[in-house]
Amino acid sequence: MNNFFATPEGGWGDGSVHLTTVGIAIVIAVIALLLIVAAIVRHKNATHKSALTTKQLVYSAVAIALAVVCSMIKLFDMPMGGSVTLLSMLFIVLIAYWYGPYVGIMTAVAYGLVQFVLEPIFYTIPQMLLDYPLAFGALGLAGFFNKKKWGLQIGYIVGVIGRFVFATISGVVFFAAYAPEGMSPLAYSAGYQASYLVPEAIITLIIICIPPVSHALAEVRKRAVEA
Quickly state the pLDDT bin for 41 (edges 50, 70, 90). Answer: low
Q: What are the boundaries of each domain within the chain?
A: 49-225
pLDDT at 3: 60
CA nearest to 157, candidates 204, 125, 124:
204
CA 180, 125, 100, 68 dihedral sign is positive
What CATH number has the domain spanning 49-225? 1.10.1760.20
With b meaning 16 or more CB within 10 Å and e meaning fewer, what string describes 109-118?
Answer: bbbbbbbbbe
More confident position, 24 or 103: 103
pLDDT at 152: 97
More confident position, 198 or 24: 198
- The answer to whether the CB of 4 falls within 8 A of the CB of 20 is yes
Quickly state the pLDDT bin for 198 (edges 50, 70, 90). Answer: very high
Write out pLDDT tens, residues 155-164.
Answer: 999 999 999 9
Q: Which pTM does this prediction carry?
A: 0.86
- The answer to whether the CB of 96 falls within 8 A of the CB of 104 is yes
pLDDT at residue 53 is higher than 70:
yes
